[in-house]
Amino acid sequence: MKKLTLFVAGILVGAVPTAFAAATLFSDVDDSAWYYEAVASLEEKGIIQGYSDDTYKPSSYVNRAELAVTLDRLISYIEDGEVDPSVTAITISDSIPEESDGYSFGNEMYSDTYFLDKDTLFVNVGYGGGCEEHDFDLMWDGSFEDSENASLYLIHEGNDDACEAYANETLEFDLSSIKDAYSEEYDASNGTVFLYIYSDADEEDSFTVEYSF
């Protein structure tokens, strides 16, 4: 409930959003706060607007009316085509990574759900930690097993995060490089490829994505 509160509290007042500057975004949101950048980004886009007394009330609870207004603004923002998501491109490696080559998949993680929206793959992952920023990468050697199959590797680096908490994150990957490579390889503008995505070097943990374009 804490993150949801920070996301939507303080939205009912203020008709015109203004650009943000450090320490002047809202009187009760310090630029050193861990949630400052998220609040500043949403305020700049007009998705949240704060209260008339120049506060955001980050610790206040959210009621249904506030949630409805915020979600409506967010949907309108997406439908207007203004979304510029931070999507990670697939890394094309020279070869499939193997532990025997000295390659490591780093910290353990758990991939439980995924979905595909056009050329963007969304993967929900869980992992231990929370003190340090974790890095994720989706690697591919640029080749197809045949016209219907390709293998990719989901890499996780925990950056020596010693925390024992359990974190959850949704990753976004741009698959368009696979589509482009397929078109060049098979001289076809459309097709379907089954992507076998492995999260360990022994290829024991995996999930399969049916990617059509």
Structural domain spans, the chain: 2-79, 88-212
Q: What is the pLDDT at residue 9?
A: 47
Q: Which residues pair with 115 in a beta bridge?
A: 122
Q: What is the pLDDT of residues 64-99, one digit of tens each?
A: 877 787 877 777 776 666 544 456 777 877 665 555
Q: What is the pLDDT at residue 29?
A: 87
Q: What is the CATH number of domain 88-212?
A: 2.60.40.3220
Residue 164 pLDDT greater than 70, yes or no: yes
To the question of pTM greater than 0.85 for the whole model, the response is no
* Contact partners, residue 107, CB within 8 Å, separation at least 6: 127, 128, 129, 134, 156, 157, 158, 161
Of residues 76 and 30, more confidently modeled: 30
Q: How confident is the model at residue 23 (pLDDT cuts 50, 70, 90)?
A: very low
Q: Region 147-175: what's the mean pLDDT?
A: 85
User: 3-state SS of 3-62?
Assistant: HHHHHHCCCCCCCCCCCCCCCCCECCECCCCCCHHHHHHHHHCCCCCCCCCCCCCCCCCC
Q: What is the pLDDT at residue 101?
A: 44
Looking at residue 8, its amino acid is: V
Residue 43 pLDDT greater than 60, yes or no: yes
